[in-house]
Structure 1
Amino acid sequence: MDDEPTQLPPALPALRARARDAGFTMSSEDRTGSLLAALAAARPGGNILELGTGIGEGTAWLLSGMDRSAALTTVELDPAVQDVGRELLGADPRVTFVTEDGGTWLDAYGGALFDLVFADTWPGKFTHLGRALDLVAPGGIYLIDDLLPLPDRPAEHTAAVRRLLAGLEEREDFRCVRLAWASGLLMAVRGS
């Protein structure tokens, strides 16, 4: 069975062209994106958080699955990178772009809990994990990617992944499933 997605967000070709031009190579792959779209679609009116906008490919996937009443907050440290996503996706009233360090944002955030949190950067995954998990609503989903070892990842990545997975498995308030698929995913659902 071919598991490559066929329903791609309309903005994806333009985002990829801009990513190539900028030399940005850290976007989530299409299989992860298709899962993001499906999870967003399963949360009508959902409040969604993306940590690590990057160039905006994950943002495009999330928006493609969201209904008209859902809201997405996406946080990125690098304004030059995020400006591409803001330029190509910012007209969508469902998305709010925040340019700030993800850890700083997590520490300061005092708003509503999130139905879906996609942590695609170090803050919210390898740092500030507890804070990110605290922001997941009961029945909500926490998703992370980039867990499989790859040759282009720094040596400390493998050790950080081991610590992360061990910490998540110890949490009694979340049910976790690891997926050796795409770049290596973990989905955790918060109990009620």
Structure 2
Amino acid sequence: MDDTPSHLPASLPALRQRAREAGFIMSSEDRTGSLLAALAASHPGGRILELGTGLGAGTAWLLDGMDRDAALITVELDPVVQAVGRELLGADRRVTFVTEDGGAWLERYDGAPFDLVFADTWPGKFTHLDEALALVAPGGIYLIDDLLPQPGRPEDHARSVRRLLAELDRREDFRCVRLDWSSGLLMAVRTG
């Protein structure tokens, strides 16, 4: 079976071009993106959080799956990197861009929970995990990627992944599934 997505967000070619020009190699992989779009579509009128906007590829996929009543908050530390996503996707009223350290944002956020949390950066995944999981609504989904070895990852990435997976396996309030697919994913659904 060919798992290449048959539908791509309209903004993705421009985002890819800008990533090539910037030498940015951390954009969400298309298979991960297609899963993001499907998960976003599964929550009509849903509240979605993305930690790690990057240049906006994951953001584009999420927006592509969202209905007109859904809302997305995307958080990125680097304003130069996030500026590309703001430029190409910022006209969409469903998205709110936040330029801030993800860990600091998680520590101070006190709003409503989210139906889908996509942690695509260290805060919310390798740090501030409890804060990110606390923001997942009952029945909501927590998704992380980049769990397999890849270029550009820190030297201790594999050790961090092992520690993270062990911590998630111990939790009784989430049902987890690991996917040895795309960049290496884990999806967890809040059960408690």
2:139 counterpart residue number: 139
How far off its partner does 1:50 sit? 0.1
TM-score by length of 1: 0.98
How far off its partner does 1:154 sit? 2.4
TM-score by length of 2: 0.98
2:163 counterpart residue number: 163
2:66 counterpart residue number: 66
Q: Name whichever of 69-78 and 152-161 sits farther off.
A: 152-161
User: Is structure 2 residue 130 aligned with structure 1 residue 130?
Assistant: yes
In the alignment, the residues of structure 2 paired with residue 78 and residue 14 of structure 1 have an alpha-carbon distance, to the nearest angstrom, of 20
User: Is structure 2 residue 57 aligned with structure 1 residue 57?
Assistant: yes
Query: CA-to-partner distance for each residue in 1:98-155, whole Å, 9 max, x for gaps?
Result: 0000000000001010000000000000000000000000000000000012354322
Q: Name whichever of 148-157 and 133-142 sits farther off.
A: 148-157
Name the amino acid aligned to 1:154.
P
Query: CA-to-partner distance for each residue in 1:30-58, whole Å, 9 max, x for gaps?
Result: 00000000000000000000000000000
Give the percent of matched residue pairs that are identical in Structure 1 and Structure 2. Answer: 79
**Matching of residues 6-45 of structure 1 within 5 Å:** 6-45=6-45
Name the amino acid aligned to 1:104.
A
How far off its partner does 1:6 sit? 1.3
1:180 counterpart residue number: 180
Name the amino acid aligned to 2:93.
P
In the alignment, the residues of structure 1 paired with residue 14 and residue 151 of structure 2 have an alpha-carbon distance, to the nearest angstrom, of 28
In the alignment, the residues of structure 2 paired with residue 151 and residue 81 of structure 1 have an alpha-carbon distance, to the nearest angstrom, of 19
In the alignment, the residues of structure 1 paired with residue 152 and residue 89 of structure 2 have an alpha-carbon distance, to the nearest angstrom, of 29
- Residues 88, 151 of structure 1: alpha-carbon distance in 2 compared, 3 angstrom cutoff: closer
In the alignment, the residues of structure 2 paired with residue 94 and residue 151 of structure 1 have an alpha-carbon distance, to the nearest angstrom, of 32
Paired residues, number: 192
How far off its partner does 1:23 sit? 1.0
In the alignment, the residues of structure 2 paired with residue 17 and residue 152 of structure 1 have an alpha-carbon distance, to the nearest angstrom, of 19
In the alignment, the residues of structure 1 paired with residue 155 and residue 59 of structure 2 have an alpha-carbon distance, to the nearest angstrom, of 28
Residue 104 of structure 2 aligns to a residue whose secondary structure is helix
In structure 1, stretches of 5+ residues that fail to align are none
In the alignment, the residues of structure 2 paired with residue 170 and residue 84 of structure 1 have an alpha-carbon distance, to the nearest angstrom, of 38
In structure 2, stretches of 5+ residues that fail to align are none
Name the amino acid aligned to 1:65.
G
Name the amino acid aligned to 2:167.
G
Residue 155 of structure 1 aligns to a residue whose secondary structure is coil
1:75 counterpart residue number: 75
Q: Name whichever of 141-150 and 182-191 sits farther off.
A: 141-150
RMSD in angstroms over aligned alpha carbons?
Answer: 0.8
In the alignment, the residues of structure 2 paired with residue 104 and residue 20 of structure 1 have an alpha-carbon distance, to the nearest angstrom, of 30
Q: Name whichever of 101-110 and 141-150 sits farther off.
A: 141-150
